Amino acid sequence: MNAFGAAIAIARKDLRSELRSKEATNAAVSFALVILLILSFAFEPTGEEIHAMAGGLLWIVFAFSGTLILNRTFARELQNDALEALIAAPVPGWALFLGKAASSMVMMLVVELVSLPVFAIFYGVTLVWTLAPVILLGTWALVVVGVSFSALTVNVQLREVMLPLLIYPTLVPALIASMMLTGNLLDGQTFSGDNITWLRLLVGFDIIYTALAVTLIDIVLVG
């Protein structure tokens, strides 16, 4: 059995289910747009401070709306006890994790792609292509931590509350790096100087937490 094939099958299964039910993405897109709208009332779009705060605002929206998707990552398997079937299958834990992470990543990127143009219009910022790697790396950080804690809290009754309480403190380094990079790049800077340091921090965070997640996921799911 090909473990990568199994990971792809799990990701495709999740995406197909989500495409039909749309329960997580609809909620996340609506939530992201509502936050963007409400925050836009607080700031003057042409004001100077908006450029300094743009990175932070954007990643707050991504992190909050992303939690709605990450909460469902393993919780959707509770219906009909489908998680048992996945745990019983001859698939290494890391393949299950990668499948779940890949489907969550796609769903979160969809939410972000819808949010970005709205963010640009409401806050009067010009989007730049150099944001792409920051968004990919920052979103992977959200996904890798979120999917891990989603597995950890899947059997907790108050998991909708527990997940944000666990992931946001863990994500602080990645969120700071993503916010700083996004703000600087929207301000016209390039990947040089301090931005390289922030990028290294983000890449390092992703590597460390991905390695931890694929190593520990079996223990998290079975004990």
Partner 1 sequence: MVAVDRVWKYFGDFPALRDVSLTVPRGACLALLGRNGAGKTTLLRILAGFSKPAKGTVTIAGAAPRDLAARAKVGYLGHGIAVWDELSAEENLRVFATLYGVDRAAIPVWLERVGLLRVRDGLAREFSRGMRQRLAIARAFLHEPELLVLDEPFTSLDDRAIALLQNLLRDARERGASVVMSTHQLREALELASDVVLLKNGRVAHAGPRTEEMLNDPSWLYARYGEG
Pick from 20, 41, 49, 169: which binds partner 1 (CB under 8 A)?
20
Q: How far is CA 90 from CA 6, 94, 107, 187, 198, in A?
A: 9, 12, 26, 49, 39
Pick from 27, 35, 53, 87: which binds partner 1 (CB under 8 A)?
87
Choose between 27 and 89: whose C-beta lies nearer to partner 1.
89
Q: How far is the CB of 9 from partner 1 (least distance, A)?
A: 4
Question: Measured in Å, how far apart are the chain's first and last C-alpha atoms?
Answer: 24
Angle formed at CA 76 by CA 206 and CA 161, multiple of 5 degrees:
70
Q: How far is the CB of 52 from partner 1 (least distance, A)?
A: 44
> How many residues belong to the site for partner 1 (CB under 8 A)?
28
Q: How far is the CB of 11 from partner 1 (least distance, A)?
A: 11
Q: Tell me, residue by residue from 42 to 81, as one string, x for binding to partner 1 by CB under 8 A and - for no binding.
A: -------------------------------------xxx
Rounded Cα gap, residues 151 and 113, in angstroms: 26
Determine if 5 is a binding residue for partner 1 (CB under 8 A): yes
Choose between 78 and 121: whose C-beta lies nearer to partner 1.
78
Determine if 190 is a binding residue for partner 1 (CB under 8 A): no
Pair of tokens at residue 105? 């990543």
